[in-house]
Each structure stands twice: as structure tokens, then as C-alpha cells.
Structure 1
Amino acid sequence: MEITIKGRGKKIEETLIYYRRHFHQYPELSQEESKTSKTIQNFLKEEGIPFETGFAEHGVLAIIEGENPGKTVALRADIDALPIKEKNDVAYASKVNGKMHACGHDAHTAMLMGTALLLNSMKSEIPGKVLLVFQPAEEMAPVGGAGQMMKDGLFTKHKPDAIFAQHMWPDLEAGEIGVKSGAIMGNSDRFTVIVKGAGGHASMPHQGKDAIVIAAQVINHLQTIVSRNVDPMQSAVVTFGEISGGERYNVIASHVTLEGTVRTNDDEVKKKVKARLEKTLSGLAGANEVTIELDYKDGYPATINSEEWEETVRASAHKLLGENSTPRVNSSLGGEDFGRFLLEYPGFYFWLGTAIPSRKLQKPLHDAEFDINEDSLAIGTEMMTQLTFDALEKLNKEENNS
């Protein structure tokens, strides 16, 4: 019998909005999510949903056992905030100075709680088991919380046959779902370059090794890695986000530090960019007779959706939102810790439209004015719940046919 979830999320919309706004007002950064975790645990206790803790310190795993035998599906939401001072003038604005839910994790958490609520009320209809993963430290790149949760035994007792997650996406309207198999989010690496020259008086540059001038060469040369070494039909970005150096206007700088990020969605492209970066810096160091140090940190792997799940995710969206609800989307080079789960288990990561109609220009993720269209909360809750039933049906059918 086909299960239809449409309309059920709307019935608990007040609860979804309450928790989303609560988390938004009291954001906690990566590895600080103790109160957020406690709020989730208290909610699960009140609803009589079993759960386990102790994963990456503040992580929570809720377990809903269906009354019918079957496979196991995991759903994940990230719970941490960002070190950003909020600029939104709304009643539910952050009450913690310098901290903000600027990436929608407050909504992700509230929707997974709502999904737990719906699934728990439908246990008699669930053919299998559902694991609800509340993950801390997603914003703590390049370390993250997903890997540590698994190291701490997240799936030791209960192993998922598939895992799913969603993310608020302001480029899509509420009621639209971004579905794409393959790489949907990118490899997210970071690097630090230290140019070690020699100081001197500004009037006598020939006596020093100007680290600022050499740093300018570094920036210009590394940009050509993408424009002249990467196939233009593939994706790569090298961005410098921070630069510091120099002591005084009339002193040749002896040290300059540059920090940046490399984004790719293909491992071979990543290897090429990294190798060219190392070779270019070595060449510049030799040409300028200075030392250039590179500290390259591999970050989150690309989030690569399993092709086998695209049709199911798209079908779930169509059941709830109609045939036009899954417009064509391109990959993003944003980093996402969920990629680590997908290295271990098949699954899918999709985008939930949350554009605010009153805004002519949508604020992007990680912006101090980012906010969501709260109509998307009921939609996302229904989507996760519908997908759970559809995924279990697919898994159980495959098991029975094998």
C-alpha cells in the first residue's frame, strides 16, 4: 500500500516554526552544541522516541522501529551555527552576539524533529527501521563531525542501507527540490602559503626580498592553474580569502601569509590543482630566491549522490509537489560534511527551496542577512518523511527480489 504524506507536515507547522526559531535565537558553534543537543534529546524523550548520544560529543541518534520488518534508512540534519553577527531585523534574530544560523541548520534540525514526530505516529506503517542523525560540527571544516560520529560507533548497532539529507537552498522557490545525481557539492580544501623574504628599508629594495611583491606573484600565478590547467568543461576554483603581512609603510615586508581554498568536484581535478599549486610555488620560490611554505589541508570530500536513488528522490518530490517541482540544477562547489557519509553508505543529498518572495535579491548561505521562507519547513518535513517510506519500499522490494 502506497503511503502519502502530503498535508501532514502542515498539521505540525507551528511546532516546526517554534523549534526553528528557538534554535535560531540561541545558535551554538561547532563543538559547542550542548544546549541544542539537550533540546533535541528532551523533545525525543517527550515523544517517547528512543535515542543514543555520545557521538562527536554532542551528536544524537534517534531510532524509530517500524512494526513491520524491513530495511534501514538513515536521515541526517546538521545542528551547528556560524561565527557571524546577524543583520536581520526579525523577532527571532540571534540573541548571541557574533553567532548566527546563517546556513539553515536551525531549519534542518527542526525538520528532522518534525520528521521524527510524523514517523513515530506512523510506526505501524513503517516496513523497517529509521535512524535520525543529528550531527554536530558540520561547519568545522576540514575536520567536521560526520567522520567522528562514525568513529564513535554511530552505526555500529544500527547500520543503514541508505542515508539521506537535505539543505535549505535560497536559489530555489519554496516547493522546489534540487535533485541531481553524481557530484552535487564539491571537494572543499584549504591552504596556507607563507612567503619568507627579507626585510629592509623601503628606499633600498635591492637589499631585501619583498614578500608583498612575491605574494602578488603567488596570487596571480595560482589563478592561472584553473584558467590554463583545468579542462574548462570541468570545475575548479582557487580563492584567496585572507592575506596579512608587513609591519610599516616604509619597511620592506619579510613575511606574508595567504590563506585560501581549493574547490573541485572531481578527485582527479583536485589532484591536478594540488600538484600544480605545489610546483608553481616551488618555481616562484626559486625565481625569487626566497622560501615559500605550503600547508595544504584536505577537507570535505565531494558529496556524490548515488545514481540509483535519483529516481526515488525525484518521485517523492513529485508526489508531494507535482511534476514541475524538480527543476534542473547545477552542482555547487560548496563543501558539505555529508559527503563523508556517502563514502560509506549509498544515499542522496538534495536541496530544499526556501526563497523569500518579498526579497528581490535572495541572500546567499553564510550571509549575515540569510533567512528562510518558513513555508519550506512543512515541505521539507513531508519530503523527508515521504522519502523514508519510498526508500524503504525500494529497498525491501529489492531484498525480496534477490
Structure 2
Amino acid sequence: MTTCKAVLVSAPASGQGKTFITAALARAWRNQGLRVQAFKSGPDFLDPMILEVATGRPVYNLDFTMCGENDAEAQLYRAAQNADLIIVEGVMGLYDGTPSSADIAVRFNLPVLLTIDASGMAQTFGALANGLLSHYPTLIPAGVLANKTGSTGHGKLLQDALPKHLNWFGALQKNEALSLPERHLGLFRAGEISDLTQKIEDAANALAPDLPLPPIVSFKAPDTLAPPKRLDGKVIAIARDEAFCFIYQANLDCLTDMGASLVFFSPLHDQTLPKADAYWLPGGYPELHLNEISDNLSMKHALEAAFASNTPILAECGGMMALSSSLNDVTCFDLLPGVSKIESSLQGLGSLKVALEEGELGAHTFHYGSFTTALPPVITAKTRFGKVENIYQHGSILASFLHFYFASNPELAARLFTTR
């Protein structure tokens, strides 16, 4: 057992500013000299990028379906040993989803800090906060923060409306200069927001006066073993740039824990591939960089050579679309027979377990892409909403719209990078 100050930040609904508030709180506590470790509930890639800027540390995910409860327990325990404060950003509204942010909070005794978009609201603020934080009798309230208030007086009115047993964590006034830009998959990547650090710092300074600390929480040591050294001595080359950026830090940790050495390359900018025993093209935004992909014939030839030598290639979501013949009618790397398009509506959403002969591997899907091919799927998986996602094999390429979570089953994850 180990202890650490900890809090889960949630809201009544999506769109209330959870990510930015979580980043501002994390930075404010970091500015107090605390080592702050952030987590994101659910399988999101983009929000953790924002939180990493705020904390200066890699951010991890907590998702019972994709990652598993044992992984969440292990991640929190490890964080509590190496940080002074743990902050978890929830997903959607406090009670939305299965499991919900409230379920995660109750499972690990995480106190909940509720942030509420208070624009157009007065005394109802107190009733809303009290109702949400008392809905689960076992939920531990940390307190309440008001977002997008109209003035200092408005913030004081909201504070006075809170029941006495709920702590006040302050107010952040509405300011368009502190808003974060979004696109079809959510927030912009942190690296695309040129003034992100200043935005977070300004918000942290606005919250800093009299900002209380969250309670101390005890975290149980996990009953998990170190993963087997199935990749000992192997070199895995990973695509990482503006177009290929959806990479869980936990996946990198899992690969190195299994003995792999990691190197990185850019399919957009590099002309050659690093020498490696396997290649991984994760998801991202290839649709925003089609000219660079189409024009980089040297990278195309390098990938063709790796494919011809039967080197394992894992292509996830955007990685799969980039390896297809074309994306939105623009020629791509053309290693996978099939065409990809970005559709106008969401094509896949949800965490799931992929059933393989040797067991299950956690994954999630969230994309607007489609892939039309004559290749038969080697495996199909279903989200709890009934959406089917196919996994294709073409020579040494394993491709799917799925994003895998390696730590959910390291043994199976290692096989993604071995000769097929």
C-alpha cells in the first residue's frame, strides 16, 4: 500500500472544459513544486497530449474494457510511488458510460472534483453540484470548480450557492483566448496549438490563489507480474510525426518491458527506414498530410522493401489508411490492396476485447475512415454497440482500424511484432 494526494476531475457533460481545467489545475499544483502525474479516463489520445504539456510527464489511460482493472490498479500504484499528486481527467459526464468516471472514482477511492460550465447559471449551480456528487452514496466529493464565469461577482455568487460540505476550488472566467481548437476527432494535437503552454499557465495563475490540495488516497499494490521478455533483443521502429501520433505511452513501456529497443521514424519527412525487426504505423491524421505521403516516393520504396523481406508491419487506423492504395482519392504508400476514405459521419466508436485463439487483447476504435478491399478479414471484433471492425493480413502486414493496448495482454502483443 502506498499513499498520494489524488483527485478525479469530472463534469455534468461533455463540452464543459474538463481537459483545460484539468491541465490548469495540474499546472497550478506543479507550480507549487509538486510532482503531478495525470491520467485520462477512457482510450483518448488527444487529451493526454494537453495534460502532458501541463505536467511535463507522460500521461496514461484508465479504461476497464481496453486496459483492464488490473492495469489501472498497477498504473495508479506506480504513479503514487513517483508523484506527489495524481490527477485523473474523467470522460463525458460524471455518470456517463460503462464504466463511468464515477465508477472509476469509486473503484479506486478517488475524490471527485466537479467542474461546471456556469455560464447562464446562478443558484442552480449549487443544486446541480450537490445532486451530482451525492448521486452515488459511495462517491467521495473533493469539491467544485466553476468554469466560464462572467465576473468575480458571478463566481462569488456561485460559491455562496454551494452547500457547506462541498469545498470551493475557485472559478475560471470566460475568456476566448483560453479556448482550445477542435476538429473531427476532438481537440487539436498539443503540438499544433502554438500558445498552449501560455494558455495553461494563464489559467493556472487564475486558479492559483487559495487553491486547496486534494485529499490523500491509499493505493493497493497490484497482483501483476512483469511481462515476459518475448521481444528481447528485437528492434521495433515506430512511425511518429504529425500524421502518425496516436501512441499510448503504456504501449511503449510494455514493448521496452518485454525487452525491445525502440526507434522512431517519420513517414512524412524521412527518406529511409531505420533497420528494425518490425515496424509499427500507429493512427493519427494521414488525411491532413496526403501531399507529403504521396510525394515521399523514397519512403514508399523503403516500406515496399520491408514488406518484400517479410518484416512484420503493424498498421493501426491511420497507419492502415496510409498503407492503402489511396486515401480520399490521393495515392498513398500502396502496400495494402484497397482504398480508404474519410466519411462525413463516425464509422467506429468504442472499447473492446479482440478474441484471438490464444486469448484476448484490449483495443478501441474511434474513426471516420472507411477501407474498401477484396482482402478477407482474418479476425472480426465487435464493440458493445455492435459495430464490426475487421483485422486484415496481407503478407507481413497486419492492419485494422483498431488501436491495440499492449499491456492488456503482453504475450499477444508481442506476436504482433513477430514473423507472420
State the TM bucket, normalised to the shorter chain.
Answer: under 0.3
TM-score, normalized by length of structure 2?
A: 0.23
**Structure whose residues are more often helix by fraction:** 1
Considering fraction of residues, name the structure with more strand. 2
In the superposition, the TM-score normalised over structure 1's length comes to 0.23
